């Protein structure tokens, strides 16, 4: 008695019934049978290769049925999607924080003199020092984040 002539075991009958339900059942939204199809294709390839009955043409036919080639439009869409994701990652990648220059001693003295109560306001030297410091701040920001165009 060969292996094919023996009656199936309970486990084999149960697996066959589950597989038949999966393959012959009504198509439901969200139901994916590709893992079952992949498993069946792999089983056919293994069985055929063990018996050495799977010729080159038959092997290609089974392989095409299991893993169909993607269309050019789908491949092009995947390439464009990958390029877009790479461009977004480059543009949105976090940058280092800008290193701002420390205020000079002259600026701090000018601020202190302008803030003293009871003395006449000395806005002229403060304005001159602040203009120089603002230029330094804007230069540091432009180096860190790019110049405004």
Compute the residue count for the chain: 149
Minimum mean pLDDT range among 20-29, 52-61, 98-107, 140-149: 20-29
Confidence of residue 134 (pLDDT cuts 50, 70, 90): very high
The yes-or-no verdict on residue 112 having pLDDT over 70 is yes
92-101: per-residue pLDDT in tens? 777 778 889 9
Confidence of residue 34 (pLDDT cuts 50, 70, 90): low
Domain boundaries, the chain: 8-24+33-93, 105-145
Instruction: State the first-to-last Cα distance of the chain, in angstroms, to the nearest integer.
Output: 86
Q: What's residue 9's pLDDT?
A: 84
Minimum mean pLDDT range among 37-46, 73-82, 120-129: 37-46
Does the model's pTM come out above 0.75? no
Q: What's residue 17's pLDDT?
A: 76
Average pLDDT over residues 40-63: 70
Q: What's residue 48's pLDDT?
A: 65
Q: Please count the other Cβ atoms lying within 10 Å of the Cβ belonging to residue 45.
A: 16
């Amino acid at each position: 008695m060969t292996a094919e002539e023996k009656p199936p075991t309970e486990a084999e009958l149960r697996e066959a019934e589950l597989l038949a339900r999966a393959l012959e059942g009504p198509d439901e939204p969200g139901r994916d049978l590709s893992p079952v199809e992949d498993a069946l294709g792999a089983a056919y390839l293994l069985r055929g290769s063990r018996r050495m009955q799977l010729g080159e043409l038959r092997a290609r036919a089974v392989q095409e049925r299991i893993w169909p080639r993607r269309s050019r439009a789908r491949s092009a869409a995947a390439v464009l999607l990958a390029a877009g994701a790479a461009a977004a990652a480059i543009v949105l990648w976090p940058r280092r924080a800008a290193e701002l220059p420390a205020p000079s001693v002259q600026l701090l003295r000018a601020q202190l003199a302008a803030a003293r109560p009871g003395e006449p306001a000395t806005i002229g030297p403060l304005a001159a020092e602040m203009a120089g410091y603002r230029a330094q701040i804007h230069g540091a920001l432009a180096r860190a984040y790019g110049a405004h165009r």
